[in-house]
Structure 1
Amino acid sequence: MKKMIGFIAILTILLTYAFISDVRSTTETAQKDLPVVGLLQLTSHPALDLISQGIIDALNEEGFVDGETMILDFQNAQGDQSNLNSMSTRFVSRDADIMIGIATPAAQALANASSDIPIVLGAITDPEASNLVASNEQPGGNITGVSDATPIKEQLNLLKDLLPDAKNIGILYSSSEDNSIVQGKQAEELAKELGFETTTMTVSSTNDVAQIGAALASQVDAIWVPTDNTIASAMNTLVSATDAEGIPIIPAVDTMVEQGGLATVGLNQYELGKLAGEMTAAILKGEIEPATSPIQYLEQGDIFINQEKAAELGITIPQSILEQAVNID
């Protein structure tokens, strides 16, 4: 009797193990059939975080849910180039079906890692100028996506309306980001066309922001900053430096207004992410191909005003502008 009980116990264990192994094998096989989406973000700051969330939400809405209908491999390089390179290689070694790069350095790392796997640009200012595509109208390779080209002229016109006595505009950007250099040069030209004098300074890392921001603020009437990941990561530091001089910042991004900028005509970062996510889903479904899919743009920017900052700096916002503002802090 004892032998029979022991035999039954052993048989039960073996059958249970076989069942678990079969379930595990079935699950692994099913997961192998799911598309792998590699999502690479340069670093953490509010604008890029919103883009990432928009991408993921759009993918979910299009039927791609992590662990169910896709495998999402989300990596954040925290601003480290070696991380960008190794994470890009990771996606390629996983045989990713598609890769998404948020910010120009992330997109460039992905492009260097593969010329075959489809790549979607999650908000890159000028893909053509960054040598990521043959042209923004006809990418021609394995890369397409979304531009976050900022409406610089509209931002400078807003500055003029808010600060009619401003003469000298400071332009501050990172010398290590291609997209920032492009925007900085555009801002210099447009500011001069609008009758401003300009003083331009650059930073090479977040460590420079406090000192150079303070130096620039002591020489100008207002400061404009582009869609710049280095400055966005140290926006609070920059605001502290400019507040000490009583100088307002007109940033290119709405989230930087929330962090202490005065105002902007900005693109909704979350909506940029959603547009990139929709393009990713369309490629996965076989509806479009990167080579023939033009770079996409959001059609309209919104006015964002930080009324608390305006009050701190003694700036009166015209009622006509307040009535147009979509998001007023």
Structure 2
Amino acid sequence: MKKFLIFIIMIAPLIFGCNKENGSNKIVEIVIFSPMDHKSLSSEIAGFKEGLNDYNWKDGDKINFIELNADGNWNDIGQILETAYSNKPDLVFVVTTPAAQIAAELCRKYNVPTIYGAVTDPVESDIVESLESSEIPITGVTDRYPTRKQCDFFSSFFKNPQEEKAIVLYTTLEKNSQILSEETEKFMNDLGISTKRVEIEDINNLENRIETLIQDYSIVIVNGDNTIIEKISIVSDICRKYKIPLFAGDPLSIEAGAVGALGPDYFLMGKFASEKANRILLGEFAGDISSSGPDKFIKVINTRISKEINFHIPVDVWLNSSEWQSYTE
């Protein structure tokens, strides 16, 4: 990663050619930053790019995307973003709470319009003063999970919830993960399922940590922790090994082996972010554009996994689901 950082710094004047001209038209430069790769973050970025294209901001014609990624090295986020902001692009789109927190500081320092995405609580995380406006040029799209609805959904799979024990996995790398894991623990306990949060201190030791924990529980939940979601297939494999259902707040986790998930459509949230970007590129002050969040959520099950682990999905779960998708392979 150090080589990557040096490379970025050395070629910065080349990749950040501000206000380049294409004929008589200015080419707008937009930095897109993600601290890691996983499907939901990639989906939000894809929605953002497609949305801008829909607004006639064509990549390579009217805009130039500069995509940067920390490859899961959280300590490198600040250096990568500092380099990006110092070259004064026209706009920065950044995903996840830790990255957005750093971006907000740099937005203030360099006065570069900024849009955040995949942030649970931008006010609590000190990214914006309020959802309505900000004194600096920053706005964005929150992915605030409907935690109570999620827990109602997760618990609905169990006929006798008082007989179950759930574990909620989280890390302390992200403020949003701590918020959501606390809420999930509370609501699941309120619904009669004995639930405990467990911190994964070393993500590189995830497999061994889960192996030592999981056999004491009948339900595993991962809700909004990007660090664990990036490695959700490891969690899923162990759950399948012990025939324990995995539930998630990230709908795309269903493809990695979660039995049920309820959460926002990240591609659509990327589209929401592109609408804000269009307004900014047309001259509106970013801080005057209110932050927004999802107005609908995806509820999805994986029937293949439920059969594989002999986990019964009650008829009531099907009948009480108004927004339903069934994932099979």
Q: What TM-score comes out, normalization by structure 1 length? A: 0.86
Task: Measure the CA separation in 2 of the matches of 1:28 and 1:57.
Answer: 22
Counterpart in 2 of 1:148? 143
Identity %: 23
CA positional deviation for 1:28: 5.2
CA contact 2:133–2:290 (8 Å) conserved in 1:
yes
Matched, 1:305 2:301: yes
Task: Measure the CA separation in 2 of the matches of 1:139 and 1:221.
Answer: 44
CA positional deviation for 1:320: 4.7
Q: What does 1:66-215 align with in structure 2 at a 5 Å threshold?
A: 66-115=59-108, 116-166=111-161, 167-215=164-212
CA positional deviation for 1:84: 1.9
The alignment partner of 1:224 has SS state of strand
CA contact 1:199–1:220 (8 Å) conserved in 2:
no
The alignment partner of 2:144 has SS state of coil
For each residue in 1:16-45, what CA deviation from the matched residue of structure 2 results, as whole angstroms up to 9, or x when unmatched? Answer: xxxxxxxxxxx9543893221111011111
CA positional deviation for 1:327: 4.1
The structure-2 alpha-carbon separation of the partners of 1:298 and 1:28, relative to structure 1 and needing over 3 Å to count, comes to: closer
244, 249, 254: which one pairs with 1:247? 244
CA contact 2:34–2:96 (8 Å) conserved in 1:
yes
CA positional deviation for 1:161: 1.4
Task: Measure the CA separation in 1 of the matches of 2:70 and 2:293.
Answer: 25
Task: Measure the CA separation in 1 of the matches of 2:44 and 2:215.
Answer: 34
For each residue in 1:232-274, what CA deviation from the matched residue of structure 2 results, as whole angstroms up to 9, or x when unmatched? Answer: 1111111122222221111000111110111012211111111
Rg larger for: 1
The structure-2 alpha-carbon separation of the partners of 1:156 and 1:215, relative to structure 1 and needing over 3 Å to count, comes to: farther
270, 278, 285: which one pairs with 1:289? 285
Task: Measure the CA separation in 2 of the matches of 1:266 and 1:152.
Answer: 9
Q: What does 1:196-275 align with in structure 2 at a 5 Å threshold?
A: 196-275=193-272
Task: Measure the CA separation in 1 of the matches of 2:132 and 2:207.
Answer: 39
CA contact 1:140–1:290 (8 Å) conserved in 2:
no
The structure-2 alpha-carbon separation of the partners of 1:312 and 1:279, relative to structure 1 and needing over 3 Å to count, comes to: same
Flag structure 2 segments of 5+ consecutive residues without an equivalent.
1-18
For each residue in 1:188-236, what CA deviation from the matched residue of structure 2 results, as whole angstroms up to 9, or x when unmatched? Answer: 2212222222121111343132122223322222111111111111111
Flag structure 1 segments of 5+ consecutive residues without an equivalent.
1-26
31, 38, 42: which one pairs with 1:45? 38
The alignment partner of 1:317 has SS state of coil
For each residue in 1:97-132, what CA deviation from the matched residue of structure 2 results, as whole angstroms up to 9, or x when unmatched? Answer: 111111112212322323111110112111111111
CA positional deviation for 1:133: 0.8
Letter in 2 for 1:140: E
The alignment partner of 2:72 has SS state of coil
Name which of structure 1's ranges 81-90 and 224-233 shifts more when overlaid on structure 2.
Answer: 81-90
CA contact 1:213–1:242 (8 Å) conserved in 2:
no
Q: What does 1:10-29 align with in structure 2 at a 5 Å threshold?
A: 29=21
Count of residue pairs the alignment pairs up? 302
CA contact 1:201–1:212 (8 Å) conserved in 2:
no
For each residue in 1:60-102, what CA deviation from the matched residue of structure 2 results, as whole angstroms up to 9, or x when unmatched? Answer: 1111122211121111111223442232123223211111111
Task: Measure the CA separation in 2 of the matches of 1:139 and 1:212.
Answer: 41
Counterpart in 2 of 1:22? none
